[in-house]
Amino acid sequence: MSADRAAPARASSPQAREQFEQLLTACRGDGALVEWPHAGIAGGAPCGDLVRIAVRCAGETVEEVGFTASGCGAARACAAATVELAEGRPLLEVAKLGASDIAAYVGGLSPGKWHGAALAADALHRALGMALAAGAVAHPQRSGRVVVAFSGGVDSTVAAYLAAQSGKEVVAVTLELWADPATDPERSCCSPRAVLRARGLAHTLGLPHFTLDLRQRFSAQVVSPFLRLHDAGRTPNPCVVCNGQVRFDALIAATHALGAERLLTGHYARLADDGEGLLLRRASDPCKDQSYMLARLEPALLERLEFPLGSLEKTQVREIARAAALPVAERPESQDLCFVAGLGTRSFLRRHAASSLRRGKFVTRDGREVGEHDGHQLYTVGQRRGLGVAMGYPAYVVAKDPQRNRVVLGTRDELWARRVYLDRDLILHRAPQRVRAVQLRYRQRPLPCVLVEDEDRAWLELAQPALAPAPGQTACLLDGELVVGAATIAGWEK
């Protein structure tokens, strides 16, 4: 199968014209599976063309394909071509089909009609993703087959490349989590445009590709709680929640349905057996370690996971990409949350939580008003920049009072904590005595600690003070390099 690429000139041969007309006339699959639920839709009002493609899968085969299309003749011809290319074919072969394959089958398309092939390909892949997510795909497990969580960035691409080079049969799966025209599609790993980019790259590498549309689930389980927790005065960590409740559950289910032995991801983390079973282990490169973001993964999932980059440094990963001439070798990393890419958290809150943002007061510990702010949700404990208040000394956010919409300012000395309280969502994978260190923020070095529990609550006694543990962030509990638990920070005291 060829990769999606720039639109080729439409062939002018009589054979090409005859093929185009035959597709328009015969329209195999036109009107079939109209009520079938596993259907993808692409196009609409902006372009005037709309393509709906439905697939009925059985086991490892796409048994039937149907379509409806409105708009230009190219859209209908490409939809009909998709039926002929996909129907009765093995699912993993159909998952390699791209717009270029459809355009070539039609006989070539002019640049002005190329969108017909692009719409048909997108509708097909959305239908395949729906069938996969709904459990309509059932491959028997095959030795050597792996699924790669494929964002299309350098890390996931190198993970897929290394797996293929080692002789593995690689299937790429991309998650579509969020769609917001205000975010930067080039910096987001989960937007509709990012999905198209990842699909094209997977096809370039010769890989079958599936897209799982998890936008509703992601909004309900990640974004909505993110907004609610900001209203409650907290600074949540949505990536930990997403990995623990949304992303990996869906990917593991897809891995099972596709008959793969393992799920591979581009995370910088490792696995280790401590004698009681598998645990997450910090990456060999502490500057890139992402075990913190995976801290809420259940140990039972780890048996089906693999992290090919866990023992590599980022520079080595880019060197591998360059040596293999992978087109993403120089793609920059995004430091944003995926759903705020290009916006930043404050702008995201202004856009999606404007009704709850109210002007309030900056105050000192003794209640003296020293300025105004646009909503306590826009600030986090430990923040110094962007306060817009002259205090005569470097001022920091030392606390928040969401009930009275107040942000408390103070000095850096007020932010040092010796005791960190944990929420009731504490999970432990090993005995409490195994908790010997804690990471209180992403990319922050672990601190020695002891976990203390009583009937009502749990807390960490730190061997050395921590600066500004923010309520709502994750406390990743460690025994050396091993992740032995996690909890949400509830508060702290000196």
Residue whose entry in the numeric block shows the structure tokens 């309030």: 360
Question: Of 355, 431, 151, 136, whose CA–CA distance to 258 is shortest?
Answer: 136
For residue 266, say whether it is annotated as part of any ligand binding site. yes
Torsion on CA atoms 220, 222, 225, 230, rounded to nearest 10? -140
For residue 149, say whether it is annotated as part of any ligand binding site. yes
Helices and strands per DSSP (H, E), number in the chain: 14, 22
Q: Are 409 and 389 in contact (CB under 8 A)?
A: yes
Question: Of 136, 143, 144, 208, whose CA–CA distance to 174 is shortest?
Answer: 208
For residue 86, say whether it is annotated as part of any ligand binding site. no
For residue 88, say whether it is annotated as part of any ligand binding site. no
Cβ-proximal residues to 362 (8 Å cutoff; 6+ apart), any chain: 369, 370, 371, 372, 373, 387, 389, 406, 407, 408, 409
Identify whether 47 is a catalytic site residue.
no
Q: Among the options 57, 239, 338, 476, which is catalytic?
A: 338
For residue 110, say whether it is annotated as part of any ligand binding site. no
Residue 348 backbone class (left: φ over 0; alpha: ψ -120 to 50; beta: rest): alpha
Identify whether 338 is a catalytic site residue.
yes
Q: Among the options 57, 189, 239, 242, which is catalytic?
A: 242
Dihedral sign (CA 74, 75, 80, 86): positive
Residue 308 backbone class (left: φ over 0; alpha: ψ -120 to 50; beta: rest): alpha
- Cα–Cα distance between 108 and 68 in angstroms, integer? 21
For residue 375, say whether it is annotated as part of any ligand binding site. no
- Cα–Cα distance between 324 and 319 in angstroms, integer? 9
For residue 152, say whether it is annotated as part of any ligand binding site. yes
For residue 144, say whether it is annotated as part of any ligand binding site. no
Binding residues: 149-156, 175, 266
Binding residues for ATP: 149-156, 175, 266
Tell me which residues are annotated as active site: 242, 338
